[in-house]
Amino acid sequence: EIVMTQSPATLSVSPGERATLSCRASQSVSSNLAWYQQKPGQAPRLLIYGASTRATGIPARFSGSGSGTEFTLTISSLQSEDFAVYYCQQYNNWLLFTFGPGTKVDIK
């Protein structure tokens, strides 16, 4: 099983600042990596797939990078609606997708 880790667990950021979230896989997942945003009481929402491709309707302030085992989600200028929990997920092993534990982005 591919184990995903995320850091930091919590990131405190002021509105308008940049946020950088990290995700690491225990073995290579190529570019088969997605990022999701989840707000309280809501289902997750796909932000990024293929490590760097924004999903439909996702603002350009969200960007993803990386391949292999190291990935980054960057939010260039945090808006109030961006405070949420972010999860990475590998889908390289098609039969057993795995999520990271999440990074909570809260207001500094």
Partner 1 sequence: EVQLVQSGAEVKKPGESLKISCKGSGYSFTSYWIGWVRQMPGKGLEWMGIIYPGDSDTRYSPSFQGQVTISADKSISTAYLQWSSLKASDTAMYYCARLRTGVDYWGQGTLVTVSS
Chain residues binding partner 1 by CB under 8 A are 1, 32, 34, 36, 38, 43-46, 49-50, 53, 55, 87, 89, 91, 95-102
Least spacing, CB of residue 32 vs partner 1, in Å: 8
Pick the closer one to partner 1 by CB: 44 or 66: 44
What does the alpha-carbon distance between residue 23 and residue 46 come to, in Å, rounded to a whole number?
A: 16
Least spacing, CB of residue 53 vs partner 1, in Å: 8
Q: Which among 35, 37, 75 has a CA at the least distance from the CA of 53?
A: 35
Pick the closer one to partner 1 by CB: 3 or 17: 3
Q: How many CA atoms lie within 13 A of 87 on its CB side?
A: 15
Least spacing, CB of residue 4 vs partner 1, in Å: 10
Pick the closer one to partner 1 by CB: 34 or 75: 34
Pick the closer one to partner 1 by CB: 36 or 83: 36
Least spacing, CB of residue 16 vs partner 1, in Å: 28
User: Does residue 7 contact residue 102 with C-beta atoms inside 8 Å?
Assistant: no
